[in-house]
Structures are given as C-alpha cells and as structure tokens.
Amino acid sequence: MQNKDKFNNSSPMKYILLGDIIKHPNYSKERLDYINISTGDMFLKLFELDVKQLDYSFLQQSNTIQVHIKNKYKENFFDLAKLHWLIHDFKTNGVSFAPQGFLQKDDNENNDTFAAEIHPGTYRFLAMILGEMYNEHILVADKENYFPNHSILSFEEHKKLADQGFIRERKGSYSEIETSQRGENIYTVHEGGNHHDWNIIRQSEELAKMYTKVTIYTDDEDCIARLNLLETTGVEIKIANQGYAYIPFEEQFNGVSIYIPKSDQIEDVFTYDKLIHLDIDTDIVFFTDTGVTIINNGSVGCKRLIPEIIKESKPEYLDNFLWARRVVKI
C-alpha cells in the first residue's frame, strides 16, 4: 500500500498547539502530575547510582554506537540523560519536527478526561511539557473531536509538517501505522538511522560530572526539620550560615546544591523534578516566586565565588547574580 493510501485509510490528523491541548478543561491533570513525579523519581534514582556511567560499543558498519542497559538504574540514567538533552537542545534549536500520536479518552466511562498517547516522539513530547514549550505543535488524531475548530490535514499537509524544521539531513525516514490502545490507527513518519545515542552518552557524561553529590541548604534547624521529606539517599540537608553565595565554596565547588529559603510554605516549594531546568553550562536556576535557587557548584561562574570576592562584593552583585555567566530565572 502506498503512503497516501495508508494515510487515507487511517484516522484523520490535526496540527494542534501543545498549550491548547494540556490547557483544555478535560485534559487529564493526573497525567501531567505523573510526568513531574516520574521526572523527580529519575533524579532520585540517579543519586543512588554509585557509578554514573553508561556502557556502549561502537558499531562500525553503521558508524554509530549501541548503549548497553544492564539494570533499571542504568536504564533510568539513559532515559534521564535523553530527556535532559532534548529539553535543553529544544531551548537552543527549537523542537524541529512534531511528535505524533492520539488524543485518547480516559478508560473510565464516567470520566470525560483525555490525554495524549504519543509515538513516535514520546520523549520529545515529555521534554516539551517539562520545558513548558506551549507554543509548539504536535500531530494528533482527534477522534472524539476535542478540537472542532482545527481542520483535518491532507496527506500533503501532513507530510510537510512531519518534516518541518528538521535541521539535519533526514536519512532513512519511513512510514508506519501506529495502533492505539483502543485499536485506532494513524499514519506516522519515523526517523531511521540517526545518531542520537551519541548525544545522549555525551549528556550522561556531563550529568555525571555535575551530580557528584547533591545537598540542600536552608536557613535554620527548624527549616531542616520541616524539609525532612526531601532527605533521601545521597542528599544531605545543611544550614546556609552565610547565605547562598558561600555554598559553592562550602561544597568545594562540587555537585549540585539547592538553597530553599525560610517561608511559611517551605515544605511545598521544591520537588526534585525542578532539577531538569539546570543545564550542564548553567550556573544558577532561580525561581522568582519562591526564592529557591539551584546551584551548579562546579560551573565556571560558581568557581568565582571564593570568600574574598564575596566579602568585597556589593549586595546587588550577589543578589542579582551578576557574577554568573548563565542564569535561568523561572
């Protein structure tokens, strides 16, 4: 069967903004919460991994690498490195071609909620959500017509959108019929023969350098007692006696630290999924609504914070992170 025939014999497709989908009143909030919880769990498993290294071999025939997953912790590390790479690559280069999938009604007949079932592009979709890239599109079948004002795509329109934005030469792409859990079929375009595992390995190596240890800092013993739910294997909670600026020096410019200032809601202002916003070349991630600060202690910028420089610095130099090379404010 020719590609156009495959397309015409499958569920009609639409091109919809991610923001419109997840902000739809019937979109499953449980699915969105699960994505954040799962990402936090990925980091917790990373903290427990003694040897943060992925094993791989070089495949000469295809001039690429094959990653060897030996246990659930290594699989988790691979998945986290992939997700982390995609999020920060998207922020620099854009999402490129759109994820593809279905809008699926919840299995509970008494529930009107729905969620996106995505393949190919599952991790691209997750990266778009975690990176809050709501102005990007996905290609989806909308059998229940949740978006009646979006037009159905022709084969030619779908083909153009499936390839849109691809910034490298696309080799070995092929079409396939994907079947949803409810038996619905859609026509999808897949990329074959890419070398993404190479990028994921490089990302995993940089994450291993960054997450040599993880510490949480706060303002006093009462705060520590209230933050005890965050204490887990590989994470120590300490008091920041002299403010956030001394933390990289206190940690000997190693690892990642999270400073959580004293507040009435201190137990609720940080979850581990927020670590996904710290890129390998970022000095600081600052959350403007809570004052929570994620610090990449080993970054070039953070290594400037020796006690002598801190003592001679004006408050605005420290408070506005003017010492840093790269700051992300959320």
Q: How far apart are CA 113 and CA 16, in angstroms?
A: 18
Can you give the pLDDT at residue 50?
A: 83
With 60 as the cut, is the pLDDT of residue 291 above it?
yes
Can you give the pLDDT at residue 192?
A: 67
Pairing assessment for the beta strands 174-179 and 185-190 based on DSSP bridges: antiparallel
pLDDT digit string, tens, across residues 98-147:
999 999 998 776 678 999 999 999 999 999 999 999 999 999 999 999 99
Can you give the pLDDT at residue 162?
A: 85
User: Mean pLDDT over residues 286-303, rounded?
Assistant: 97
Looking at per-residue pLDDT, the higher value among 2 and 299 belongs to 299
Model confidence band, residue 11 (pLDDT cutoffs 50, 70, 90): very high
With 80 as the cut, is the pLDDT of residue 274 above it?
yes
Model confidence band, residue 230 (pLDDT cutoffs 50, 70, 90): confident
What is the average pLDDT score of the chain?
90
pLDDT digit string, tens, across residues 29-39:
999 999 999 99
What phi and psi values does residue 105 have, to the nearest 5 degrees? -65, 145
Can you give the pLDDT at residue 132?
A: 93
Which pair of tokens denotes residue 239?
Answer: 């008091």
Residues facing residue 181 across a β-bridge: none
With 70 as the cut, is the pLDDT of residue 188 above it?
yes
Can you give the pLDDT at residue 155?
A: 94
Can you give the pLDDT at residue 232?
A: 80
Can you give the pLDDT at residue 257?
A: 98
Model confidence band, residue 2 (pLDDT cutoffs 50, 70, 90): confident
pLDDT digit string, tens, across residues 154-184:
999 998 888 776 555 655 577 889 888 888 9
Can you give the pLDDT at residue 280?
A: 95
Looking at per-residue pLDDT, the higher value among 321 and 230 belongs to 321
Can you give the pLDDT at residue 168?
A: 55
Looking at per-residue pLDDT, the higher value among 246 and 166 belongs to 246
Can you give the pLDDT at residue 170?
A: 56
pTM: 0.90
Q: According to the per-residue pLDDT averaged within each range, which of 162-176, 181-195, 231-245, 286-300 is highest?
A: 286-300
Model confidence band, residue 57 (pLDDT cutoffs 50, 70, 90): confident
Model confidence band, residue 72 (pLDDT cutoffs 50, 70, 90): confident
